[in-house]
Chains A and B, each alone.
Chain A
Amino acid sequence: MLSIRNIVKQYAGHTALNDVSLEVERGQIFGLLGPNGAGKTSLIRIVNQITAPDSGEVYFNGEKLNQSHINRIGYMPEERGLYKKMEIGEQMIYLARLKGMSRDEAIKKLRYWFEKLEIQAWWNKKIEELSKGMQQKAQFVSTVVHEPDLIILDEPFSGFDPVNAELIKDEILELNQKGATILFSTHRMESVEELCDSIALLNKSKKILDGTVKSIKNSYRNATYLIEYTGNQLDLDGSQPFNVIEEIALDDSFTIRIKLNEGATANDVLQYLIPKTNINMLQEVVPTMNEIFIEKVSKLN
């Protein structure tokens, strides 16, 4: 769907993107992660043809990216805004027509979206008369009204109130199910695990990690488990198949965090512990994306 190959972008004095390559498959929800200033917005602007790369290429559906692809992409920038003095309906029509829709078609589609998001009563109101949430809904509509194949959202959840963020998230998922590919950037990791099929991690203008969320998480599993038990505190004699990393004593139970020895499995742990104590819980500790992100970034630094 979208293939970004060896992109380099330099601004006077600093490099925004340094040899970045990405593959976004059709139908995916792709998360572009990274701390502020990592180059996410620069990359997104290149895909939107707002700026051009110094070197490297972008392919859209196998074709080299060109002006004809603009109408197939919907873009919601991080800095959002609309003409304040213009009526919302007229403005939406204008933006849709800039994306190549005819006036009649635009009105038809806009009516559908306005009803869906319950803002149809505001059609003739000026943007400055609308509430912030209403403006954000309108902004979202203008991004998707022309039924783009690729929807690009730069920090989509920042600035939205929780109710609207949830609403927009549901709409994004629905559009994805209907076949749209979604590329969004964020520095909020919790939304990533919930939504994304694949991610790429940018840091200091370089891509430092990419792949499906599942495979990345798998590769960061490090045989760590959390065990909660009741009874007397364990007295470990050294023959156990794990090392205790951390031990927390509560009123009536204990929680330990363990790391398996080389070659050992969770079953071995259970076999070792069952005769000794009452196990309430055994859970594998899989690092969150946030932890992976922090680990990866701090390791590089």
Chain B
Amino acid sequence: MKKVLLIIQREYLTRVRKRAFILMTLLVPCLIAAMFAIIAYIAKQQEQTLHKIYVLDENGAFKGKFHDSKSKKYVTIDLPLSVAKDTVQKHEDDILLFIPATTDKKDSVTVFAKKKNTLSLADDIQSELNNIATGNRMVQAHIDTAQLHKIKSNIVVQAQELTDAGAKSANVGASYALGFAGAILICMSLFIYGAQVMRGVIEEKTSRIIEVIVSSVKPFQLMLGKIIGVGLVGLTQFVLWILLSTIVTQFVGGGGGHSAQPSPMMQFTNNLGENIVYELSCFMFYWLTGYLLYSALFAAVGSAVDSETETQQFMFPIMLPLWFAYILSVSYLFQAPDSPLAVWLSIIPLTAPIVMMVRIPFGVPGWQLGLSMFLMIAGFLFTTYIASRIYRVGILMYGKKPSYKEMVKWFFYKE
């Protein structure tokens, strides 16, 4: 056990100290920060542009009834339509609102603008026009508008999920997002860290240090130490990413002045509500067991080959279930989380880590989750057993072109 700890320590420290690791760890939060900064910038930009709206009101029914806002300023003009159009054409951000004498007909009111995107204001203008027109008609019909405002209710619908534990509020969007993010993260990290394990094994083989090491420790201990060490590197990276991203987006998203406002990350976790513990622990479980299951296979592949170029024929069958699960999950399964296909794929250990992630936001029956988790544990113990038997022979084999037949033979070798 002490030796496994030593191996874990070496695998961890040599990787964490690498420049590539530090760079990646810093780069991702920077990218996230940049993304938030751009979004914030665009939002601000839109808010700040002041649009002058020239109102050409033919019979003056709307005169003086428009309300100016941060981005809109209404100016009443009295010019022929063609002259007014020319004026607006000279200023990019300006809009001409033409209200003919009769507004009853459809399409009678028109907005003219030079830039297409300023036309998005048309919706705002339309609702304002309608409000004014309604008010006008109410006055005409002798309805007390003040009375009416008092009666008018203001109902906002809130989404409530009905569960056995009683109704609880849940933001479905945040759960979706977590499920998707979980599936993508698991898929990615299985590839990234699995490949790191494989490369580590190949490195030991090609540098020929392997025989020195296995004269001190058992091959299984070495494999285990490497898998755990690399796994911890992955965990460190994730934790750092989340921490740094939270801090960085706090700065960017808060816009400097409004520090009281929670960062986007905090908002996201708040939106998840009470589910967060359940969903995050599921994520951690499937990340961990999925990683253990696949990295053992990657280690076996690494042990069988002499160089990375030879790995391709073995990598394909390992990657296949992952890609399959991933593509199905994001394209179809999230729409049918309780379909038989989704249920089965979330129980089979090879695809479960990804498919289960997109199912979890929609609620998974206890027995399915239990069975899936049990099979995940059984699955990684099984692949680790197979992998370690191939590994112990493979690491000492040089110059033999590996094949599946050969690997089966190795599996049946006695100690």
Contacts and interface: CB of A to CB of B under 8 A. Distances in A.
B142 to A, nearest CB: 89
A142 B212 CA distance: 9
B212 A12 contact: no
A11 B410 CA distance: 9
Interface string B108-130: 00000000000000000000000
A73 B214 CA distance: 13
Contacts of B10: 94
Interface in B194-236: 203-204, 207-209, 211-217
A52 interface: yes
A50 B222 CA distance: 12
A79 B216 contact: no
B208 A52 contact: no
A77 B216 contact: no
Interface string A69-89: 010010111011111111000
A50 B6 contact: no
Nearest to A11: B413
A1 to B, nearest CB: 18
Contacts of B208: 77, 79-81
Contacts, number: 62
B398 interface: yes
A81 B206 CA distance: 9
Given A82-B207, A83-B207, A94-B10, A50 B214 contact: yes
B207 A84 contact: yes
A295 interface: no
A52 B215 contact: no
A40 to B, nearest CB: 14
B216 A99 contact: yes
Interface of B: 3, 6-7, 10, 14, 203-204, 207-209, 211-217, 396, 398, 409, 413-415
A189 interface: no
Contact of B6 (A51, A79, A94, A142): A94
Contacts of A95: 212-213, 216
Given A81-B207, A81-B208, 10 more contacts: A45-B396, A50-B211, A52-B414, A52-B415, A75-B212, A75-B215, A80-B212, A81-B209, A83-B207, A98-B213
11 contacts: A12-B409, A51-B415, A54-B414, A70-B216, A73-B215, A75-B211, A77-B212, A79-B211, A80-B208, A83-B207, A97-B6
B414 A77 contact: no
A253 interface: no
Interface centre among A49, A85, A98 (most CB of B within 10 A): A98
A71 to B, nearest CB: 8
Given A12-B409, A82-B209, A77 B415 contact: no
Contacts of B413: 11-12
Contacts of A82: 207, 209, 212
Contacts of B213: 95, 98
A82 B206 CA distance: 10
A11 B396 CA distance: 13
Nearest to A127: B207
A137 to B, nearest CB: 15
Nearest to A97: B6
A212 interface: no
A80 B213 CA distance: 11
A48 interface: yes
Given A11-B413, A79-B398, A98 B207 contact: no
A288 B285 CA distance: 67
